[in-house]
Structure 1
Amino acid sequence: MGGDQVQEAVGHALALLRTAVDLDWEGTRAGRLEWSCRETAVHIASDLIAYAGQLAGRAQNAYVPFEITCDGTDDGLDPADTAGVLDVIETTGTLLAATVRTTPRDVRAFHPYPFRAADREGFAAMGVTEVLLHTHDIAEGLGLPYEPSAELCQNILTRLFPHVRPGPEPWPTLLWATGRGELPGRAPVTAWRWSNPLVIPAERLALHGVTPAAAADLASGGTGGFEWIEGGPVEGTREGAGMIVKLYETGTLRAEWGMYVLVRAEDGRALGALGFHAAPDEEGRTEIGYDLVEAARGHGYATEALRTLADWARGREDVRSLFAVVDKGNVPSQGVVTRSGFTRVSDDGERFAYELRLRP
């Protein structure tokens, strides 16, 4: 998800909307929204430039305090007509696309939901989502047929909606997930949020949450979009990614309780993965697993990552204890869990089970 997708979404939307500039945008409500079609178009442009501003300014704690207006100025400039507003959408879309393309991969900027930050792919995906959904709203108000590409919708769902079980078609699923449509067998959506993947910083590493799209790529033999050190990713990472794909397909994935790739801070290279087998059960328990590329072993990376993820979990109210199961012959892994504060609680003859109690 990058600049090309932003421009694809904007270009396709404008090709349709420019055929209807002579209609009453000011007096027509945009679909199910309270805004008029004109207000909704201005909102699209505002979102695109806001996301570009967040990335370009490397904002960390709040939105950069600026906005655009299409309503004229104190200098007497006439308000933009409908064609002018659409030109502003094209301009701001181009600015976001350029910013995404020139922003380094490791840059994260402020966005309030859900983890208070997003990277360049996240802002591109959010920008595309705003364009698609609000073009739908305008088109619905004006009586125009509109449907973006299935591939673009699928990319959005697997990037920003990991909690939404896939439907028969991506576009109707995205409309349902955002309260704009119905799907057979599913209750109407009255409130919704998207979800950028969580990134948890450690001392020498960053733990990058894996999206369903990245998990599917890893499970099928790809890199998941990460740059790996030689020898990676290993088979355990691919198996873990396959578990994430299955959770996503059944609608039971809670992304923050999923899989994380360990990225070394000094060079941005991926070393391995760790994560939860599932969200905590009713008793607040969840199992954790991890692996490293062979060349990264013996440097304390697994211990650092496990301690970091355990500390993150300790701040959550829905988990009470973490479990890890280690083969008896895997002495290095036993050392990792022990150094991370886990205590051995059982022995089935072939494997040891360890527990870390986070709270009573």
Structure 2
Amino acid sequence: MRVWGGDQVRAAVAESVAVLRTAADRDWDGVKAGRLDWTCRETAEHIAGDLLAYAGQLAGRAQHAWVPFEITFDEGTDPAGVLDVIETTGVLLAATVRTTPPRVRAFHPYPFRSADREGFAAMGVAEVLLHTHDIAEGLGLAYEPSAGLCADVLARIFPHVRPGPDPWPTLLWATGRGAVTGRPPVTGWRWSNPLVLPAGRLALEGVTPAAAQDLAAGGDGGFVWLGDRPYDGTREVARALREAWYAGTHRPESGMFAVVREDGRAVGSVSFHGVPDEEGRTEIGYDLVPAARGHGHATAAVTALTDWALSRDDVSAVCATVEEANTASAAVLTRSGFVRTPVEETGPAPERDAEGRPLRLYVRRA
């Protein structure tokens, strides 16, 4: 999977500034930015402030709160000067993203309290695209960013939004700025960075739709895999995530997680098979690359994901089915606190897999 972030921040800023400079000789203080309460100047200052703040969070590795600083413009700074600052802060964020290791995370409140370099880049790009739209609307300028940038943002920080045939109108709709035929108006929204769960010496890193698409197509999903490739089951789950995203049913908290060691190598995946049902039951699955088996990684990953699931209000039981002959997988579940359970006690579940092999159901309850 191609490295994503720094170049995209620079591209978004370049497109923005090219459009807004055509109106740099106008009064930005007396014009509202689209539907916002801010003026065009205030909105432009907000763009620069966010780009700098994201660079600061990521560079300083802030873990618990926003770094307490903000940008201040010199008195009398005109729109052309404001755009100079946007260009400069865009360069700072792009450089920070490029020089930050891939597994590093820093504090961001929405929704799981952290983001990695790709997440901060995607948020920066989103701020530029959306607020340039607001300013352009206020000033009466034509603006439409590249479809690729919009699609990339949707696939990274809008996993809950069903992609449409045209990414820019979809992004505007998802942020309450436009209408899409067949979709209800959006009155409140937030983007969503992937969840990361600690699992002893491992981390469970949420897989974005962008990463799932790459995995499904035979790529690495942005991870460095032990043995140079994921196990086939990981690609199958990635395809399922991709299809759920296309259908608008994917929810990141009930999605797929890469199992990553302390050395940064991914060794497998653990995932939910969908959102909990009406009774609060959810099913999980897992696999490891062959070279990672026998080291307790599967038990640590399954235990961590199950503990987190059962801490949620919408989950009452976590289920898993394994082939009767797969004693190693059954042992993982047993060590993780699951109990073998007759199917009739828990609800419908397959008794055999697609090839007719008998399955056994294991359950852990809250």
| Rounded Cα–Cα distance in structure 1 between residues aligned with 2:87 and 2:32 | 22
Is 1:298 matched up with 2:304? no
Show the counterpart of 2:89.
92
CA contact under 8 A between 1:231 and 1:293: conserved in structure 2?
A: no
**Which residue type is aligned with residue 257 of structure 1?**
S
User: What's the offset of the Cα at 1:231?
Assistant: 5.6
| Rounded Cα–Cα distance in structure 1 between residues aligned with 2:90 and 2:228 | 39
Counterparts in 2 of 1:174 and 1:54: CA distance versus 1, 3 Å: same
Identity %: 67
User: What's the offset of the Cα at 1:204?
Assistant: 1.3
1:28 paired residue among 31, 50, 58: 31
* CA deviation vs aligned residue, 1:306-338 (integer Å, no higher than 9, x gap): 001111112210100011000011110010011
Show the counterpart of 1:200.
197
| Rounded Cα–Cα distance in structure 1 between residues aligned with 2:115 and 2:284 | 25
**Which residue type is aligned with residue 223 of structure 2?**
F
Classify the secondary structure of the residue corresponding to 2:271: strand
| Rounded Cα–Cα distance in structure 1 between residues aligned with 2:68 and 2:15 | 30
Show the counterpart of 1:341.
337
Is 1:57 matched up with 2:22? no
The aligned runs of 1:66-215 (5 Å cut-off) are 66-70=69-73, 72=74, 78-215=75-212
Aligned residues: 351
The aligned runs of 1:241-256 (5 Å cut-off) are 241-256=238-253
**Which residue type is aligned with residue 43 of structure 2?**
T
Is 1:14 matched up with 2:17? yes
Show the counterpart of 1:312.
308
User: What's the offset of the Cα at 1:346?
Assistant: 2.6
| Rounded Cα–Cα distance in structure 2 between residues aligned with 1:167 and 1:351 | 38
**Which residue type is aligned with residue 104 of structure 1?**
P
Report the TM-score, using the length of structure 1 for normalisation: 0.96
| Rounded Cα–Cα distance in structure 2 between residues aligned with 1:63 and 1:164 | 27
1:353 paired residue among 341, 345, 361: 361
CA contact under 8 A between 2:207 and 2:255: conserved in structure 1?
A: yes
Classify the secondary structure of the residue corresponding to 1:141: helix
User: What's the offset of the Cα at 1:51?
Assistant: 0.4
Classify the secondary structure of the residue corresponding to 1:69: coil
Structure 1 segments, 4+ long, off by >6 Å, are none
Show the counterpart of 2:348.
none
* CA deviation vs aligned residue, 1:45-74 (integer Å, no higher than 9, x gap): 00000000101111111111111112x3xx
Show the counterpart of 1:48.
51
Report the TM-score, using the length of structure 2 for normalisation: 0.94
| Rounded Cα–Cα distance in structure 2 between residues aligned with 1:123 and 1:16 | 24
Is 1:286 matched up with 2:282? yes
Classify the secondary structure of the residue corresponding to 1:248: helix
| Rounded Cα–Cα distance in structure 2 between residues aligned with 1:210 and 1:105 | 14
| Rounded Cα–Cα distance in structure 1 between residues aligned with 2:311 and 2:56 | 31
**Which residue type is aligned with residue 106 of structure 1?**
R
CA contact under 8 A between 2:310 and 2:318: conserved in structure 1?
A: no
1:238 paired residue among 235, 253, 278: 235
| Rounded Cα–Cα distance in structure 1 between residues aligned with 2:215 and 2:270 | 14
| Rounded Cα–Cα distance in structure 2 between residues aligned with 1:344 and 1:56 | 48
Alignment gaps of 5+ in structure 1: 73-77
* CA deviation vs aligned residue, 1:227-269 (integer Å, no higher than 9, x gap): 001163111101111110111011111111100000001x100
| Rounded Cα–Cα distance in structure 1 between residues aligned with 2:83 and 2:362 | 59
CA contact under 8 A between 1:26 and 1:37: conserved in structure 2?
A: yes
Is 1:260 matched up with 2:257? yes
CA contact under 8 A between 1:198 and 1:256: conserved in structure 2?
A: yes
| Rounded Cα–Cα distance in structure 1 between residues aligned with 2:78 and 2:127 | 21
| Rounded Cα–Cα distance in structure 2 between residues aligned with 1:230 and 1:104 | 21
CA contact under 8 A between 2:176 and 2:188: conserved in structure 1?
A: yes
Show the counterpart of 1:75.
none
| Rounded Cα–Cα distance in structure 2 between residues aligned with 1:107 and 1:293 | 24
Name the Cα RMSD after superposition: 1.0
